[in-house]
Structure 1
Amino acid sequence: MLKAVSALLTDSREFINCGGYAGPDRRRNDLPNYQGPRRRATDGTAPRPAAETAPQKPSAAARPENAAEAPSGATAETPSRPSPKATAGIGMAATSGGGRGPDIEHLPPSNRRVQVVQEALRISQELQALLHDPAAENAKAKISDHFNRLMNLMGLVHGYCREEGEAGSFFKKKYAEIMATVSKFSLGILASGLERTVQESSRIVDGTTPAALGSSSKIFYKMSEFDTLITMLGGYPSLSLDLLEMIKTGWQNVLSLTARDNTLSELEKDDAAPLKLVAAKRLNDADLILQERRAADSQEAAFQRLNRSPTV
């Protein structure tokens, strides 16, 4: 079938060469005398060009390498069997060097998903290298771009982990590898990025920097990106008191900027609460965790003072 389609596509004539069809290659060249594609007696028999009459030889790529490989009764028209490399493409993509690794023994269902995993691993390693030299040219822009792409890809890989069986185990293992790389630099990214965002929003709130249209939505989406990273790191309870204070200040600034422009109340989703309510909920969550941590720290300090006090 493949050879038949290839012959059709490479045929120089306008119509298919069929043995029982006398056909349109006999038509007149001048428009006034053209009476349609049917053959007429006055046309006679014209010899066909040698290129059309010569039998087409099968290409070397379509020929089986060995006569023993061809199935019985098969002709030269039979397409060759696919290369084993093509069927192992998913497994080859699963390993970083393209070689055979232990993960390809049970292949995941989709090559596209393996490519997503590979891309996430590559970006995480590049991001780690960029953070080692943040003063390099365009490093800040590259770090921001790599970070956003990595968050999106990790969300996809996390969704793949919900699958059952061997495919789910494969993606859980790869997700753990990505998380191990991300955890090395994620707290540094969170602290530095959150500090810059809080300082920027605080300058707008106190009037040091003039507020532009959409300032509240801009700060909101930045804080939401940090929330995605915080969720991956274990949520608000896993953060230090300093980070919780900055998060609380950031969400307070979002709500303060909302009072100046109504961007957040206008950008509502159809099936969700307004972004303003989301910001208020995040602020409340951060404040509750902060109060619990402070209460726990004060109790621990009180117990330590009691233990240090001399007994009578």
Structure 2
Amino acid sequence: MASQEENRISRIKDRLLKAVDSWTDPLAIFLNIFLTLFYYLYDVFYVVPQMLGTTGNAVHFVVTTWIVYNILGNLRACSKTKSSVDTLPPELMQPAKGEEHLWHSCEKCQRTVPPRSWHCKVCNICILKRDHHCSFVANCVGHNNHRYFMWFAFYATLGSTIALVENLLFALRNKISVLSLFSFNGLLLAEYLHRGSVNMALEVQVRLVFYVNICAVLFPGLLFFQQIFLIRRNAVMHNSSDRTYDLGCWKNFAQVLGRRHFWTFLSPSIKSPLPNDGTQWQSKHNV
């Protein structure tokens, strides 16, 4: 009876999780795209032209366009690229001779799966070298799309940081103290006592854009540095302390970035075949 009750509760939790993720994933994708395009257009066509000359505007436009291309390109690639066990060709759906002991059984999928593969309750399938399910890309981050997720987090952090600096300079240029959360109360009082003494529309606009911008730096920044920490160890998020597959910094990054290594920094369209198929993993014990 106890076991049946636990199974019933587990099924209810799974249904609730799927119901929540059915709208959180699309919402998170929309938020990513909206904020990226908003800050790109806001800074390129409104903020920067008021602070730089023609040459500066042109250079800024080229650099930020390249950054936005990489943000959205890596986001799309990470979202569209699947790392599920089902992506394996039929001949790799079963362990090679002598490696049967390395595979394990998944009760949900009802089959044996390769080492480092784990079941995702949201995707409802086992993922090759599963790191985590990320709502911001509406997909599981695993063997085939880990590279895109890392560069997406990097470029989102870089672009947001550049925008934050520009928005801070723009605020200072307009004598708006965005660094003091309490100064806004004083401005409200001054506007109440002396009507028209403060440009409230500009004040609210600059402050709102700046504070959201801070969040847009912190979230992808934390993700990026966490990924660097994990990739450096050749570990994954759900087991970050595992050093079994640590082959050294260069080889660890090659497992994620592929044969072209850090050249993938330039564009998500660069082809960079991975060194393995996601079923066989070299450990530091058998190097």
**Which TM-score bucket, shorter chain as reference?**
under 0.3
Larger-Rg structure: 1
Higher relative contact order (CA 8 A, sep 6+): 2
Greater strand fraction, Structure 1 or Structure 2: 2
Name the TM-score, length of structure 2 as normaliser.
Answer: 0.25
